[in-house]
Chains A and B, each alone.
Chain A
Amino acid sequence: MPRRLRITIDYNRCVGSGICILTAPNVFRYNDQRQSEVIDPDGAPEGVVLEAAQGCPQVAITVEDADSNERLFPPADLL
């Protein structure tokens, strides 16, 4: 079983670049304000979710292990 992820978006940082949505369309989509929202944290393999989070120019996406709460992205030195 792959681990379950918790994905959060910081709306003070998200500028609606669409990059995460293009990277993982089954995980993210545009909301009504044309910022990103999570539709399904398990919609893509963990590697793709992390790629989407890393691709965010604004470091707006946080990915955690939903059970252990371990933060998988971003590392402290990017914030």
Chain B
Amino acid sequence: MTTIQDDLLAPEVIADPYTYFGQIREEDPVHWNSRWNGWLVTRYEDVVGVLRDHDHFSSDRMASFVLELRPEDRDRLSLLISYFSKWLVFTDPPYHTRVRMLLNKAFTPTSVERLRPRVREIIQELLSQVEHKRHMEFIREFAFHLPVIVISEYMGVPPEDREQIKEWSDETSRIFFIRADEPDRRERSQRGLQHLLDYFEPLIHDRRRHPRDDLITALIQAEERGDLLSDEELLATCTVLIFAGHETTTNLLANGLVALMEHHDQWDLLHENPSLVRPAVEELLRYDGPVKATFRWAKQDVELQGKTMREGDRLLIVLAAANRDPRKFSNPEDLDITRNPNPHVAFGHGIHVCLGAPLARLEGQEAFLALSQRLPNIRLADKPREYHRTIVARALKELWVEW
């Protein structure tokens, strides 16, 4: 057994997380990382087990965040704390149950299906803008725009405000990227959030008086057994939707395209059989999904694979390792767009399973369908590819392609 190095941001781990987390999955599947100060959970069975067990494992990220703050910082960051505590993804039942059920109807596969024609249209428009150039930076010129346009239109955000909102959303997200060179990231995050709140508040008030056929109106009207979302919950939800829907889908498109280019037989197969696009997108999510890992906190002492976790311990749930676990998937290192069934965990699992998954799937299907039909000769340009240095996201900085 080789020793496991514990720097999760080491260049080789960022470049190839699958080899690194794969080694841990095979040699020490529930691994204590003393540098990150938490447990790594890597086998499919354990990942699914923990994500299904919200009685023993909490998603309340703000609880531990607040504990680490000095009292004066708690006061200064009270807005941030108060809103992030209402972000679905950081909450536990019963709050989570209530809000998730109120949001769910707007995001079911049936509900988002009616967006498909418009998604198709947006994709064709985006491709028309670049087709004649015969090359592009795929993220900036294509993959970035699609999810932003789709979620903004669905929510009812005017097109001219999109860029600004994206900027505020990026500012807000700074809190989640631990970068030593950014001492004021918490303040910047809070400022970004304040801008988003100031933007959405009048929009919500407007829709209360003048209902429209958009998501904000639907969320205002969402009702379960007489229960409604409060103004604060509505605001928190608007910010989380803008935030969660942006980068992840962009990365599905970019990572997916790289995977298909590096397995050109699979690209050709898709080009010749467009009806394979649904299983193809599932396989791209499994093979190199946008979210490498997520977090949980032990709510009490609990045992996993013979290791004892203590109450309050932090867990990194490594979706990327589970998705290539040979105990669950045959030939897990192969990209096989016909794989079926494909019970991957790219969207998480259990009560927090991605709310936007049906929408992300739809966007992915339409994008790869259009790309494989309209630009069948697309190829990766001969440029180095670099990934952002984060534990959670599998995100390319740039992706140059030509055709």
* Residues of A in contact with B (beta carbons under 8 Å apart): 10, 12-13, 15-19, 22-23, 33-35, 54-59, 74, 77-79
> Which B residues from 316 to 366 make CB contacts under 8 A with A?
341-343, 347-351, 353-355, 357-358
Indicate whether A57 sits within 8 Å of B355 (C-beta atoms), given known contacts A15-B349, A22-B97, A22-B101.
Answer: yes
Taking the complex as formed, is B145 at the interface, i.e. its CB lies under 8 A from any CB of chain A? Answer: no
* From B100, B107, B110, B341, residue with most partner A Cβ within 10 Å: B110
Which 4 residue pairs are nearest across A and B when measured between Cβ atoms?
A12-B341, A34-B52, A15-B349, A15-B353
A16 contacts across to B, CB distance below 8 A: 52, 349-351
Indicate whether A19 sits within 8 Å of B110 (C-beta atoms), given known contacts A12-B343, A57-B353, A57-B358.
Answer: no
State the Cβ distance, B269 to closest chain A Cβ, in Å: 20
The number of A-B residue pairs with CB atoms under 8 Å apart is 59
Indicate whether A78 sits within 8 Å of B349 (C-beta atoms), given known contacts A12-B343, A57-B107.
Answer: no
Q: Is the CB of B113 within 8 A of A78?
A: yes
Q: Is the CB of A57 within 8 A of B110?
A: no
State the Cβ distance, B118 to closest chain A Cβ, in Å: 16
Q: Is the CB of B107 within 8 A of A18?
A: no
Q: Is the CB of B357 within 8 A of A17?
A: no
Which secondary structure characterizes the binding site on chain A? loop
Q: How far is the CA of A59 from the CA of B355 in the complex (A)?
A: 13
State the Cβ distance, A15 to closest chain B Cβ, in Å: 5
B97 contacts across to A, CB distance below 8 A: 18, 22
A79 contacts across to B, CB distance below 8 A: 278
Q: Is the CB of A57 within 8 A of B351?
A: no
What bracket does the count of chain B residues touching chain A fall in? 20 to 34
Indicate whether A13 sits within 8 Å of B343 (C-beta atoms), given known contacts A18-B351, A34-B350, A57-B353.
Answer: yes
B207 contacts across to A, CB distance below 8 A: none
Q: How far is the CA of A33 from the CA of B109 in the complex (A)?
A: 25
Q: Is the CB of B52 within 8 A of A55?
A: no
B348 contacts across to A, CB distance below 8 A: 15
Taking the complex as formed, is B53 at the interface, i.e. its CB lies under 8 A from any CB of chain A? Answer: yes
Q: How far is the CA of A18 from the CA of B52 in the complex (A)?
A: 10
Q: Is the CB of A77 within 8 A of B350?
A: no
Q: How far is the CA of A15 from the CA of B49 in the complex (A)?
A: 11
Q: Is the CB of B350 within 8 A of A17?
A: yes
State the Cβ distance, B105 to closest chain A Cβ, in Å: 7
Q: Is the CB of B113 within 8 A of A77?
A: yes
State the Cβ distance, B318 to closest chain A Cβ, in Å: 17
Indicate whether A17 sits within 8 Å of B353 (C-beta atoms), given known contacts A22-B101, A77-B113.
Answer: yes
Please name 29 pairs of A and B residues whose Cβ atoms are closer than 8 Å in the assembled complex, sorted by A. A10-B341, A12-B341, A12-B342, A13-B343, A15-B349, A15-B350, A16-B349, A17-B351, A18-B97, A18-B351, A19-B101, A19-B104, A22-B101, A23-B101, A33-B52, A34-B52, A34-B350, A35-B52, A54-B109, A55-B104, A55-B105, A57-B104, A57-B354, A57-B355, A57-B358, A58-B353, A58-B357, A78-B109, A78-B113
Q: Is the CB of B52 within 8 A of A59?
A: no
Q: How far is the CA of A33 from the CA of B147 in the complex (A)?
A: 34
